[in-house]
Structure 1
């Protein structure tokens, strides 16, 4: 299902764009259409649980995880399965050489003869680990990028960070790498701790700063696409999801776009007081359904980050889709603290 450009801009506006300056144009919440009652729960689909960051969520079993992205303490974490067709040592060597070849194509900053600054091994990190310091931005000579590849057993893990201090970046990545534990699919029973879940593992470190986890699911027979993102916020937005929708309609942003509110209400999920919107949107060419729940978070918090869950599809079979949406939304739960 491809959403037209007009509809996509509207969805991005409602879910991402801060609109504090537009709120004066909105009408009162009492003018909203009556919210649709919750689904009965009959025919709730078979679900699969996915841990994402410090939370877990259920999605229909037919759907596939197409992408998961995470960042912890400034480090981007990328995992992959080792190929079973070649020996592990060969697979590591090939992955390492591919990355060095990519880095080698970059342009060094003015005054620097080469992009790569240093490569070396890191004993005690996984079964094997190697890192490379390099200039990742030819416009900024002071900024250094640092990538580490380590063998976590069941998977390979890349951790990437950039900054100005080699020593600080090395200390940070080594600390994260040594706190990493590989995890089999579906395994949520880890020892008690401060777990941050990645796609193929988990990291036992408490929240510090710069923490994000996001995932996208596709492949449902009803044409559903589901996204979830959790990220710490340094400033809690004043406008919630409901007021964003009202502002879009009141300010003429949605000119030429017909928006029908199916649900528009406060909704507490996993003890978090958020807001839910289910909209039918038509731009004259295509009609789509957009399901969204947003929690604005607490300032600088890992346990209470900003959370957005969305589900999109073409129009049709609304009741079935509401059942899926309710099952997804009501499954959200925190995973921090107990290793549940």
Structure 2
């Protein structure tokens, strides 16, 4: 399921955008075995029209629902590939998103949970899948890799915190012949979140590598308090420089909420 917002540049922006898209669609080559590109058209929601079309010039079985929602000052393009095993699912998802989308300009009051924010509005349905984020940074001269991950918090973490998981791995002998030394461990607050920090040195033969880690377990059911994990991996050389970079990174993290959050909580 994909959707993106577009700003209208004219009073008839919705009609113009839809007409332009249909014209571009008509220019596609028809896949072998198909009679026409457009398979079905229908109104998905008020001010939202959609079509089911062939989405591949090579595979006649690849079909996708496309839709455009008129949200007033802007529009929302949506598309969802049709699964041959459950063909009705794609249209059902489009209908749910189209009916639940709320523009910030409407100052609508959303349900208390399940918000998924876009630039100009939000979808307020519970997610159909687990939303996860992973961002990776690399610093070549220092041979350093940093990863920031976020996912919904679980009701309970069966693995415990960072130190607990390390102790369990060592007890099971998962480290093999490598020598593992805890450099620093303990609670650490980052951006207002009370998390746990763990820094370890792993030595294998003549090679030494450092791993920095910080984790916040999150609050189950709270979309504004997900589980957050920040890790950094590198060789042990220039350890002081890397330790300073790690501390500066944690100190620079900020917890930001959507600017329009207050407006959303106000009644119409």
Question: What TM-score does the superposition give when structure 2 sets the normalisation length?
Answer: 0.62
Corresponding residue of 2:146: 226
Q: Deviations over 1:302-323 (max 9, x none)?
A: 1111110111112211111111
CA distance in 2, matches of 1:339, 1:300: 21
Q: CA offset at residue 266 of structure 1? A: 1.4
Structure 1 unaligned runs (5+)?
1-74, 80-88, 106-113, 145-163, 181-192
Higher RCO, 1 or 2 (CA under 8 Å, sep at least 6)? 1
Work out whether residues 196 and 202 of structure 1, in 8 Å CA contact, stay in contact via their aligned partners in 2: no
Aligned residue pair count: 210
Work out whether residues 101 and 123 of structure 2, in 8 Å CA contact, stay in contact via their aligned partners in 1: no
Corresponding residue of 1:116: 62
Corresponding residue of 1:24: none
CA distance in 1, matches of 2:207, 2:164: 25
Q: CA offset at residue 246 of structure 1? A: 1.2
Q: Say which is worse superposed, 283-292 or 269-278, in terms of deviation.
A: 283-292
Q: RMSD over aligned Cα, in angstroms?
A: 4.1
Q: CA offset at residue 130 of structure 1? A: 6.2
Corresponding residue of 1:279: 200
Q: Deviations over 1:99-150 (max 9, x none)?
A: 9338x55xxxxxxxx52345444252756846354226xxxx12x4xxxxxx
Q: CA offset at residue 197 of structure 1? A: 7.0
1:170 to 72, 75, 94: 94
CA distance in 1, matches of 2:231, 2:260: 26
- Structure 1 residues 119, 204: CA separation in 2 closer, same or farther (over 3 Å shift)? closer
The answer to whether the aligner puts 1:100 opposite 2:55 as a matched pair is yes
CA distance in 1, matches of 2:124, 2:148: 21
Structure 2 unaligned runs (5+)?
6-19, 30-53, 105-109, 262-268
Corresponding residue of 1:324: 245
- Structure 1 residues 243, 305: CA separation in 2 closer, same or farther (over 3 Å shift)? same
Question: What TM-score does the superposition give when structure 1 sets the normalisation length?
Answer: 0.50
In structure 2, the residue corresponding to 1:168 is in which secondary structure? helix
CA distance in 2, matches of 1:274, 1:166: 39
Q: CA offset at residue 282 of structure 1? A: 2.5
The equivalences for 1:166-315 within 5 A come to 166-174=90-98, 204-205=122-123, 208-209=126-127, 210-219=130-139, 221-238=141-158, 239-284=160-205, 286-315=207-236
Work out whether residues 279 and 289 of structure 1, in 8 Å CA contact, stay in contact via their aligned partners in 2: yes
CA distance in 1, matches of 2:172, 2:63: 52
